[in-house]
Amino acid sequence: MLTIRPYEDKDLPRLREICLETSSFKRSDKKTETFLCLMYCDYYALCEPENIFVAADENDTAQGYILCARDFKTYQRRFRAFFQPDCDKLGPYFFGVVRGGMLVHGLFAKRYPAHLHIDLSEKARHQGTGTRLMNALKDHLRKSGCPGVMLSCGADNENAVRFYLRNGFQIRRKLGGACLMTCDL
């Protein structure tokens, strides 16, 4: 059984691997890999490591994670200053993804200031790991006084949508193939 624990700096390389392994992006090249790590992993590990929980195996190797930006405005300010310039250099496609993500999350940020990403390796799936990670993060956010959390996933990713609905999320909007979901804490 996997153990849920707080993130440690040693986990970052494995979190990057899991991020790339589980990505729904159709492209697979160096620019895309760089973008995925910047956008969906590195910010959180470098700027908000206290908001990351890891599912570790018997060797204490991460097999899954949930990471979160606690406050959208803080995330937006830091990301724009330190990570967005590198994303923008990757080309217009990535420029649009970053700006689109900021715009969509900004729609609900007042009531749901936190947003999350969760990814599990094959080894961590189908044993309740995702729910255990989700519960750890939601408990952590409640204790910090956060009123709600949001996320977006592919609207056609039926397994993910069902998982989030089972874990207390509601669909708020479907935009351009994405499903924006929120959860009151």
What residue ranges define each of the domains in the chain, with the CATH number in brackets?
Answer: 3-146 (3.40.630.30)
- What does the alpha-carbon distance between residue 59 and residue 137 come to, in Å, rounded to a whole number? 23
3-state class of 178 per DSSP?
strand
Q: Which two tokens stand for residue 11?
A: 């986990």
69-122 pLDDT tens trace: 999 999 999 999 999 999 999 998 888 888 888 888 888 999 999 999 999 999
Are residues 28 and 5 in contact, defined by beta-carbon separation less than 8 angstroms? no
- What does the alpha-carbon distance between residue 109 and residue 87 come to, in Å, rounded to a whole number? 22
Task: Give the pairing of strands 3-6 and 114-120.
Answer: unpaired
Q: Which two tokens stand for residue 96?
A: 């649009």
| pTM (predicted TM-score) | 0.94
Short-list 105, 101, 97, 98, CA closest to 150: 105
Short-list 138, 120, 4, CA closest to 70: 138
Residues of the chain with pLDDT under 50: none
